[in-house]
Amino acid sequence: MALHFSEQELAGRRAAACAAMQEQRLDGLLITRQESMFYLTGYDTFGYVYFQCLYLGADGDCFLLTRAPDLRQAKHTSTIAEVHVWKDVEGAEPHRELRDLLHQRGLAGKHLGVEYESYGLTAASGKKLDAALDGFVTLSDASTLVSRLRLIKSSAELGYVRKAGELGDHALAEAHRLARPGADEGEILAAMQAAVFAGGGDYPGNEFIIGSGDDALLCRYKSGRRVLDDVDQLNLEFAGAYRHYHAALFRTVPIGKADPLHIEYHKAAQDALLACEDALTPGHTAGDVFDAHAKVLDAAGLADHRMNACGYSLGTTFAPNWMDWPMLYHGNPVEMRPGMVFFIHIIIFNSDAGIAQCLGRTSIVTETGAESLSTAGLELFLGE
């Protein structure tokens, strides 16, 4: 049994979810987001690539419907006592099996919430779910019910978050060790990801972003590694991940020689990052944090080279995405609270000049301000 939280803490989370259901007059919740399942029960799998559903009643009743390969997975990783299995055969109808299970519990006519915003419930699967439950129960979208509870981390969770921060710094140290003219991006990625795994960490929710030359102006992973030129730029967005908690970092490393724009943009990026971290305090909103970023960059004449968002919450997200709810963009009313965790990323891309300069790190919101999860310096590092 690989349970990473006390049974008491997991029970407390389920009780909070049940209370939220009662507030929203829901009799139960059909849970399809893997991060919700992990949060409420410990259940840890990528079995959500096929249809599975965790039912949690407002009364605390709980069962899982999944495929055979996840029966043992649920028993080894979670507190879920009741697991039902649907079988792969031509014409399998697992959504109808879910209906039958709900029916056996006397839930006909009840009002259930559904996590429709979920990689674990594709649009095709959602249609089958709606069809199977049509006329049997009333369904409402409750995609953020558990995500809102996940937003503020407990003391045990913050312990894992800090460990993720350490692993992120280990990956950064590997990047600094290897980033130089003639280095192979593939070797750098191998060493960075290995630092996380060797430290007991996990795969990140999405791939590390690694790009150089013109491709340094990308902020997604893509296939195809290259060897760094004598004068080059290497863009790295990555995360330590521990117990699926993420602590992301962002750096652009000039190779061989820094362009004057790298130096100018780095100063602006550092100023913007620190301004955002100043706003990571109770009394500010997610929108305020974004505005702090925009104010600094716009004053530096970089309005055309910045993004429409400057970060997001981090937590126990599963593939394909480590970006958690909510995002930091203009007007977002979510208020900062102690125990929240935000990744601030300052992205400056000048397409005409072909220059990238990005800087980012992750912090815990505390009563008195931002606690950075990284102990690495923010100064411009030159790979030479």
Position among 9, 117, 166, 259 found at the interface with a copy of itself (CB under 8 A): 117
* Residue 45 interacts with a copy of itself (CB under 8 A): yes or no: yes
First to last CA, the chain: 47
Q: How far is the CB of 89 from a copy of itself (least distance, A)?
A: 7
C-alpha span between 311 and 324 (Å, rounded): 10
* Residue 252 interacts with a copy of itself (CB under 8 A): yes or no: no
Q: If we measure between CA atoms, which residue out of 154, 129, 117 comes closest to residue 35?
A: 117
Residues numbered 335 to 374 that lie near a copy of itself (CB under 8 A) are: 349, 351
Residues numbered 268 to 307 that lie near a copy of itself (CB under 8 A) are: 307
Taking CB under 8 A as the binding criterion, the range among 151-159, 194-202, 358-366, 368-376 that sits at the site for a copy of itself is 194-202
On the 0-12 / 13-18 / 19+ scale of CB atoms within 10 A, 280 is buried
* Residue 76 interacts with a copy of itself (CB under 8 A): yes or no: yes
> Closer CB to a copy of itself, residue 110 or residue 225?
225
Q: If we measure between CA atoms, which residue out of 21, 322, 317, 39 comes closest to residue 154?
A: 39
β-bridge pairing 138-141 and 324-327:
unpaired
> Closer CB to a copy of itself, residue 313 or residue 372?
313
Position among 243, 246, 293, 361 found at the interface with a copy of itself (CB under 8 A): 243
Position among 104, 106, 135, 224 found at the interface with a copy of itself (CB under 8 A): 224
Q: Are 80 and 108 in contact (CB under 8 A)?
A: no
> Closer CB to a copy of itself, residue 307 or residue 372?
307
* Residue 6 interacts with a copy of itself (CB under 8 A): yes or no: no
Residues in Cβ contact with 238 at an 8 Å cutoff, skipping those fewer than 6 apart: 168, 171, 172, 175, 192, 204, 208, 209, 210, 248, 249, 250
Residues numbered 138 to 177 that lie near a copy of itself (CB under 8 A) are: 141, 143
> Closer CB to a copy of itself, residue 306 or residue 361?
306
The radius of gyration of the chain from alpha carbons, rounded to an integer in Å, stands at 22
* Residue 325 interacts with a copy of itself (CB under 8 A): yes or no: no
Residues in Cβ contact with 78 at an 8 Å cutoff, skipping those fewer than 6 apart: 3, 37, 41, 42, 43, 44, 64
Q: How far is the CB of 249 from a copy of itself (least distance, A)?
A: 17
Position among 221, 298, 325, 339 found at the interface with a copy of itself (CB under 8 A): 221
Q: If we measure between CA atoms, which residue out of 243, 250, 245 comes closest to residue 269?
A: 250
Q: How far is the CB of 239 from a copy of itself (least distance, A)?
A: 13
* Residue 46 interacts with a copy of itself (CB under 8 A): yes or no: yes
Which one-letter amino acid corresponds to residue 142?
A
Q: How far is the CB of 1 from a copy of itself (least distance, A)?
A: 9
Q: If we measure between CA atoms, which residue out of 311, 307, 339 comes closest to residue 325?
A: 311
Taking CB under 8 A as the binding criterion, the range among 11-19, 253-261, 291-299, 323-331 that sits at the site for a copy of itself is 323-331
Q: If we measure between CA atoms, which residue out of 9, 84, 68, 16 comes closest to residue 41?
A: 9
Q: What are phi and psi of 10, to 5 degrees?
A: -65, -40
* Residue 48 interacts with a copy of itself (CB under 8 A): yes or no: yes
Position among 72, 257, 267, 337 found at the interface with a copy of itself (CB under 8 A): 72
